Amino acid sequence: MRGRDTKTEAEPVVAGPEATEGRRPTAGRPLPATVPVLVAGAGPVGLTTAMFLAQRGVPVLVVDKRNPFTGPPRALSSIRTLELLRSAGLQKAVERTGWYGPEPFQAVFTNSALGGDRQHVAPPEPYVRWLRNCSPVDSRLVLNHLQVQRLASDELLRCGGDVRFGIAVTGLEQDPDADADAEADAYPDPDPNPNPENPDPNPDSVFGGVRVRLADTATGEEYGITARYVIGADGAHSTVRRLLGITVPDREVVARLHTAFYRADLPTEAAGLRDCACFVRNADVYATVFCVNGRDQWVSHLMDYAGRPDDTDGIAPLPTDRALVLLRSAVGDPGLPVDLTAVNAWEAAVGVASAFRRGRVFLAGDSAHVQSSAGGLGMNTGVQDGHNLAWKLAAVLRGQATERLLDTYEPERRAAVRASLALSRTLHHGYRSLGGGDPNALYELAVRDYIRAMMRYAYPEGAVVPPDTAPAPAPGLLADHAAPGHRLPHRLLEHLESLEHLESLEHLKPPKTPENGRTSTLDLAGADWALFAGPHGAPWLPAATEAAAALGITLSTHRVPDGALPGLAPDGAVLVRPDHFVAWRADRLATDPGTAVKRTLAALLGHEVSRTPTDVRPRQDATRSGPLPGT
C-alpha cells in the first residue's frame, strides 16, 4: 500500500464529553448577545465554512444539537476539498492526518473481498493522467469526514471562532423586508472617533439581522441571539430549512439500503482493498467494502441480500446478527472478528431545495441539496458551498462589497449542484444494473461525471464578467482553459517575482516551499483576489494594485510566461476570485488598464459604477480594516 498507515491522530479540540460539556453556556461561558455569523451545524460543512470565515477575520459562532465527533467516519474527501484546505494553510496538517490510496476511481468487482474472481476497473488512462495532474494536491491523498472536521475545528478555534455542542436552533425571525434592509445594515456609519478596543461603539446599529432562538438540549434552557447572517449547514433534515419554509420539491429516492460501520483487521491479502472501492456480488449479498481510515475502519453498503423483505413502503432495521453474517460473506471469511459500530437503514435520495436563501439566512451542504453516498460528493459539494459563501460574506461584512455579491451565491452553487447530482444518479442506476453490465463502461461514464462535478463545473452566471467578444467553443472535458466562470487551471510555473506576496498572507498563505522550484498557479492566487498578466501585459500589474487599494481589497499580481496559462493572451489579463474561479478575462491590453480593472472589480463586488470611467463609488467604509463589530 502506498502512503502511511501507522500513525496516531490528534484529538479534536472540541470532541468528547468533557469538551462538549465545557462549551455549554450553562457551564460558565454565556452565549454572546450578537454575532456577525451564526452557523447551525458542526459537521464538515458547517465547521469548514466557519473556519473560512474566521480566517478572514469574521467572528463566527457554530452551534449543533449533537456532538458531531461521535460516530464512525463516513464520507471521504475530494481533490477540490483538499485544494480548499491547502489554500487555508492546512496542507501540512492534511498530509499528517490523511492517508494515500491509489489514483481516484480504482475499483475491484468480485464475489469475495479476500479472493474469488476479481475484475480490476480503472478509468481510461487520459482521465487518470488528468486527475493526477489537475491540482497541486496529490490525487491519492484522502481524509475522512471526521478528519476534515478535526482540522477545521482546530483552525477555527485558533482563529477565535466559537463552537457549542448541545445547542439546538429552535426559531428564526427576520424582518419582512430583510432582503431590502440587509445591504443598508451591512454598512454602519463609520465612527468619527474610532476606538481601537471597541471598533463599533453602537453594536445595535449593525445587528438588525436575524433573531435566533436556541435551546440547551440537556437542560431545556432557552437563549436568544441576534446574528447579522445565519448559515444552515444542519444536514438533510435541516431545521433551518424547515423554519424558513423551504422545501425539496424534486426529492427522489434512488435506493433503500443498510449501511454497516465496523472495524476489522483484514489479512494482508486485503491490503489492496484499503486503496480502492470493492464491490462484492455473490449468492448471499451485493455490497460494497470501503476503507475509511486507511487501516481498519470500514463501511459496507448492503445494497441487496438473500431474503431481503420488500421495502416499497420503507426499509426495516437489519438485525445485528444478520448484518454480521452478510459482512463476513462479503469479505469472504465466515469467522472474521468484526467490531460492528452501527447498521443504519436509510433512503438514498437526491434533490435540490427550492431556494438556498431567505433574506439573511443561507443554506449550505445537505441543507440545500441532498445527495446519495454514490460518488462521495455530499460532503465535498457542501464544503465548496461554504467556501463560495464565506469569502462573499466576509467581503460584505468588511465593507468591501455590497449585498449584491451575496445574490450570486445561489445561482453559482445551484449550477454546480446539478453536476454533482448527475453523478449520484449515474452511479446509483449503474450499480443497480451491474449484475449483467460492464463495470468498465460504468466507470468511464462515472469518472466523466466526477470530473464535471468536482473540478470542471462552471458558473455561467454570478460574480463573473462574460467576455465582450463571442465566447469561444467550450473546451473539451480534459482541456483546461482560464475562462470566466471556470476554475483557474493548475500549472506549475518557475520561480517568479510575484512569489513575495506569499509572505504577506499570514495564515491564509499556501505552502511556502514551491514544488521542485516551481509553484502552482493556484498557490500563487492564494486565498484572495489575484491578477495574472501575460508577458507583454506589464501595465496590468500596477493598475490592478492601485484598483485593489482604492476598493479596499487584497489582490496579488503575477506576470507569467507566454503559454503558461491556457487562455491568457500575451498582453491580456485574468482576474481570479478568492475561490480560484476566473471572474474576468481581458484578451488584449486595455487603453486604460487601471480604469478597466477598477470598474470590473467594483462591478463584481456590487458597487455602483457611474458612466464616468474613473468614478467608482464603493461604500464609504469599504476600506475598513481591523476587528469586525461583535468581536
pLDDT tens figures, 281-291 = 999 999 999 88
Which range has the worst mean pLDDT, 254-263, 372-381, 517-526? 372-381
Candidates 103, 186, 174; CA nearest to 138 is 103
CATH of domain 462-617: 3.40.30.120
Cα–Cα distance measured from residue 179 to residue 244, given in angstroms and rounded to the nearest whole number? 14
Per-residue pLDDT at 612 exceeds 60: no
Per-residue pLDDT at 495 exceeds 60: no
CA 100 to chain centre: 20
Give the pLDDT confidence score for residue 219 in this predicted structure.
94
Considering the segment(s) 252-350 as one domain, its CATH architecture is 2-Layer Sandwich (3.30)
Candidates 73, 147, 142, 148; CA nearest to 105 is 142
Per-residue pLDDT at 437 exceeds 80: no
Q: Where are the domains of the chain?
A: 252-350, 462-617
Give the pLDDT confidence score for residue 183 in this predicted structure.
42
Per-residue pLDDT at 206 exceeds 50: no
Which range has the worst mean pLDDT, 13-22, 87-96, 143-152? 13-22
Q: In whole angstroms, how far apart are CA 189 and each of 28, 150, 174, 210?
A: 34, 39, 22, 20
Name the residue type at position 10.
A
pLDDT tens by residue, 575-597: 999 999 999 999 999 999 999 99
Per-residue pLDDT at 440 exceeds 90: no
Q: In whole angstroms, how far apart are CA 257 and each of 75, 286, 288, 321, 432?
A: 16, 11, 11, 17, 12
Interval 395-411 mean pLDDT: 97
Model confidence band, residue 161 (pLDDT cutoffs 50, 70, 90) = very high
pLDDT tens by residue, 333-372: 999 999 999 999 998 888 999 999 999 999 999 999 998 7
Give the pLDDT confidence score for residue 375 in this predicted structure.
64
Give the pLDDT confidence score for residue 467 in this predicted structure.
75
Interval 287-302 mean pLDDT: 91
Give the pLDDT confidence score for residue 565 in this predicted structure.
94
Residues 369 and 31 sit within 8 Å (Cβ to Cβ): no
Model confidence band, residue 187 (pLDDT cutoffs 50, 70, 90) = very low
Give the pLDDT confidence score for residue 430 in this predicted structure.
63
Give the pLDDT confidence score for residue 455 in this predicted structure.
87
Cα–Cα distance measured from residue 156 to residue 263, given in angstroms and rounded to the nearest whole number? 30
628 or 63, greater pLDDT: 63
Model confidence band, residue 469 (pLDDT cutoffs 50, 70, 90) = low
Give the pLDDT confidence score for residue 433 in this predicted structure.
58
Cα–Cα distance measured from residue 132 to residue 139, given in angstroms and rounded to the nearest whole number? 6
Give the pLDDT confidence score for residue 445 in this predicted structure.
76
Q: In whole angstroms, how far apart are CA 275 and each of 36, 99, 431, 601, 625?
A: 43, 10, 20, 45, 47
569 or 28, greater pLDDT: 569
Interval 39-46 mean pLDDT: 98
Helices of type H across 566-619: 593-604
Q: Which sign, positive or negative, has the C-alpha torsion 274, 377, 454, 136?
A: negative
Give the pLDDT confidence score for residue 456 in this predicted structure.
87
Interval 137-158 mean pLDDT: 96
Residues 614 and 595 sit within 8 Å (Cβ to Cβ): yes
Per-residue pLDDT at 184 exceeds 60: no
Interval 151-171 mean pLDDT: 97
Model confidence band, residue 120 (pLDDT cutoffs 50, 70, 90) = confident
Per-residue pLDDT at 616 exceeds 60: no
